[in-house]
Amino acid sequence: METQTLIYIFVGASFALYVGIAIWSRAGSTSEFYVAGGGVHPIANGMATAADWMSAASFISMAGIIAFAGYDGSVYLMGWTGGYVLLALLLAPYLRKFGQFTVPDFIGERYYSSTARIVGVICLIFISFTYVAGQMRGVGIVFSRFLEVDIELGVVLGMAVVFVYAVLGGMKGITYTQVAQYCVLIFAYLVPAIFISILVTGNPIPQLGLGSTMADGSGMSVLAKLDATLVDLGFTAYTEGSKAVIDVFAITFALMVGTAGLPHVIVRFFTVPKVSDARVSALWALIFIALLYTTAPAVAAFARINFIDTVNNTSYQEAPGWLKNWEQIGLIGWMDKNNDGVIQYGSGAPYEGKPTYTGEAGPNGERALSNTPTASDNEIYVDRDIFVLANPEIAQLPGWVIALVAAGGLAAALSTAAGLLLVVSTSISHDLMKKTLMPNISDKQELRYARIAAAVAIGVAGYLGINPPGFVAQVVAFAFGLAAASLFPAILMGIFMRGMNREGAIAGMVTGLAFTFVYIVFFKFISPELNSSEHWFLGISPEGSGTVGMVLNFLVAFAVRMFTAAPPAEVQDMVEDIRVPTGAGVAHTH
């Protein structure tokens, strides 16, 4: 059977499964729409949480960034995985014991203020839409390459699928859909990784293959071969970092605390029956996440080796089919600078900007580019987001593996997009409408507003997917930075500081969010020519600015608290009660 036919079958079957689950588990109340009725088994919730958390950035983009950045790309592994541990230990059980539907709900109740609740909603919407832009870009990439449609149409198709199971099923439908999506995405990630590990090293376990000897008879280990090859081509060695230590720390920490402040992940712990189940659920999620995250470095290294072996010094006329497939949608581009008909891959940018094709064939068969060439020896542009998706084609794996990866990439992007969009819709319907603007609406009316808000949010997400502001993982990193700078400090202080008041929390959230947002927008969009270490504050890049925003949040919150009234006694008692385990006796007040 042809590969394209297999892709249609795999993707169509997975979509039918998701929609079928949504219809089977349709939400009939706000409790089921918001938190799946609080009755999800910890293992199922762990699997759904893993799918929710392992987005298109994890599945599609992370290994690509590590493949190109090498050692510097490890910040994503350390930050996202470490952040999940932080979330499981510091926040999840306490928020579950608090027992509300949303993060702004916690902030509004804890800080006894509708203003704090609204600020929480604004922070959440900023974070969620920044994050969902990356997911929809991932959807567009997968559709455009594997289903041979325009990226715009691919995004619209993805929106339609998410609309069905997010708007119809709510959290109940999304949870059980995400269990299925986790199974699809982890199988799609591990199968090609195992195949390629066997081909490159002879070892079927990718995690061990990364440290094994190459099967090409060179006697070199994978990393030693990669280091030597890249240095020969003019790159920095794969295992050496180029980022400053402070920037590595800032990015890692922003990703860690950003993970712990992500609203669509936190709400997952409201869906289990008991507080103890929240901890068990977090443990299972970490195990499920580790399967992919420990495999990603091996996938990255194998992909870079295979890419160089199959592309560098290859005649364009004899170039592998996968290269021309990805070239058709502008995610790979070759400019024959020396007019020899041979692809040269080296350090430096091949030309200014991304591929812009004239629509004509060049003198050596390449698709002619209107871009201005640079002085570097590099002739080929590769979008980092394609490496995982192209890996099976590069390694010449069977068609069914390529089809499986297409289904897995869509599962990863759609699962997180659905979770984010539901968080946005519940914040608008529950926190803005029910708790602030229209407190007298019925349960049925609130559910209707939640579904309308979800539909509008999907439309906005689709626009961001068609007009994305960067690489998938970079966009997602900004979302984590915004979460680190705004929600995480407010949640942490809300749980562990009885004396933190509403004025301090509000001032801190606004300061952290504003600083981080302005810092990112200035260096990435307003003045990208200044986006270098000599212009950054303390040498910290925009990806790490969430750490600075978080520190400012804490400092402003503490300063404002000193000059304003303490929270009411009942709020302080509530904070004390949240921290005391059930059955531990009466809390002592101090």
Instruction: Specify the pLDDT at position 586.
Output: 44
pLDDT tens-digit readout, 172-197: 667 777 788 888 888 889 999 999 99
Rounded average pLDDT over 140-168: 74
Contact assessment for residue 460 and residue 155, using Cβ atoms and an 8 Å cutoff: no
- Region of poorest pLDDT, from 90-99, 215-224, 265-274, 445-454: 265-274
Q: pTM, whole model, 2 decimals?
A: 0.79
pLDDT tens-digit readout, 109-132: 889 888 888 888 887 777 777 777
pLDDT bracket for residue 589 (50, 70, 90): very low
429, part of any domain: yes
Distance CA 150, CA 152 (A): 5
344, part of any domain: no
Distance CA 370, CA 128 (A): 36
444, part of any domain: yes
Contact assessment for residue 547 and residue 260, using Cβ atoms and an 8 Å cutoff: no
Six-digit token string for 94: 């306490």
326, part of any domain: no
What is the residue type of 463?
Answer: Y
Contact assessment for residue 31 and residue 37, using Cβ atoms and an 8 Å cutoff: yes
374, part of any domain: no
Domain extent for 483:
3-303+396-579
Give the residue from 186, 12, 19, 109 showing the smallest Cα distance to 431. Answer: 109
Instruction: Specify the pLDDT at position 588.
Output: 45
CATH code: domain of residue 29: 1.20.1730.10
Instruction: Specify the pLDDT at position 375.
Output: 83
Give the residue from 403, 405, 401 showing the smallest Cα distance to 413. Answer: 405
Distance CA 528, CA 278 (A): 43
Instruction: Specify the pLDDT at position 172.
Output: 62
Q: What is the CA radius of gyration of the chain?
A: 24
342, part of any domain: no
Q: Give 206's contacts (C-beta < 8 A, 6+ positions apart).
A: 190, 193, 194, 196, 197, 295, 298, 299, 302
Is the confidence at residue 353, as pLDDT, over 70? Answer: yes
pLDDT bracket for residue 476 (50, 70, 90): low
Contact assessment for residue 536 and residue 549, using Cβ atoms and an 8 Å cutoff: no
357, part of any domain: no
Higher pLDDT, 557 or 18: 557
Select, from the ranges 36-45, 381-390, 442-451, the one with the highest average predicted confidence (pLDDT).
381-390
Helix (H) or strand (E) holding 56: helix 56-56
Instruction: Report how far apart the first and last C-alpha atoms of the chain are (Å, whole number).
Output: 72
pLDDT tens-digit readout, 365-374: 777 787 888 8
What is the residue type of 239?
Answer: T
Helices (H) and strands (E) in the chain, counts: 25, 6
Return the SS3 of 332.
Answer: strand
pLDDT tens-digit readout, 336-352: 888 888 899 988 888 88
pLDDT tens-digit readout, 542-569: 889 999 999 999 999 999 999 999 999 9
Contact assessment for residue 243 and residue 532, using Cβ atoms and an 8 Å cutoff: no
What is the residue type of 272?
Answer: V
- How many domains would you assign to the chain? 1
Any bridge partners for residue 357, and if so which? 369
Give the residue from 477, 480, 431, 476 showing the smallest Cα distance to 453. Answer: 431
Distance CA 421, CA 154 (A): 18
Give the residue from 562, 590, 559 showing the smallest Cα distance to 575. Answer: 590
pLDDT bracket for residue 36 (50, 70, 90): very low
Instruction: Specify the pLDDT at position 173.
Output: 63
Look over the chain and give the mean of its residue pLDDT values, rounded to a whole number.
81
Is the confidence at residue 516, as pLDDT, over 50? Answer: yes
Is the confidence at residue 452, as pLDDT, over 70? Answer: yes
Distance CA 130, CA 472 (A): 10
What is the residue type of 510?
Answer: V
424, part of any domain: yes
Is the confidence at residue 15, as pLDDT, over 90? Answer: no
Helix (H) or strand (E) holding 367: strand 367-369
Rounded average pLDDT over 397-409: 85
With a pLDDT cut of 70, the percent of the chain lying above it is 89
